[in-house]
Amino acid sequence: MSIANKIINLPALLKKLPALRRKGQTIAFTNGCFDLMHIGHVKYLEEAGRGNRILIVGLNSDSSVGQIKGPNRPIVHQKSRAAVLAALESVDFVVIFNEDTPYKIISKIKPDILIKGADYKGKPVIGEDLVGKVELVKYVPGFSTTNIIEKIKRDCFVAESAPRNDK
């Protein structure tokens, strides 16, 4: 399926789900900002989409990311973030949502499995009351968008502070 066909609005997605379920597909859902894609995201989504699953990624809209992460985020616009996600083989559909949490979208999709990162172990997962199963996926240690942004800022500050030899 093409990248453009994987990025879908919620009403169109809801029309597709009954046929997928009739074919015996398991509907899995995860969500996030996915602002600067890195290997941690890729491995997470690869694991989330394993097996006979249709993986739906709920993508926080630009306004939603700004509310959650602050006024300087996102770095990458939602259309670009959606296209990168849709390009992954493990991702079947990307649906953008505007709320701070994916509860509303989960209540409409009614996935069979809700997938979150292993850092949610022992913590409540938004939407867990709406699904049959919550699955926690291990993260690749050492990778986070926030850490990447901080490293860029540190490296740029160091570069700006260094004496210049351009006389």
**Distance separating alpha carbons of residues 53 and 111, to the nearest angstrom:** 10
pLDDT of residue 127: 96
- Ordered mean pLDDT values, 10 residues apiece, the chain (167 residues): 94 98 96 90 93 95 91 92 97 96 97 92 92 89 70 70 57
pTM of the model: 0.87
Token output for 138: 């291990």
pLDDT of residue 145: 66
**Distance separating alpha carbons of residues 96 and 90, to the nearest angstrom:** 17
pLDDT of residue 34: 93
In SS3 terms, 39-82 reads as HHHHHHHHHHCCCCEEEEEEEECHHHHHHHHCCCCCCCCHHHHH
CB 102 within 8 A of CB 58: yes
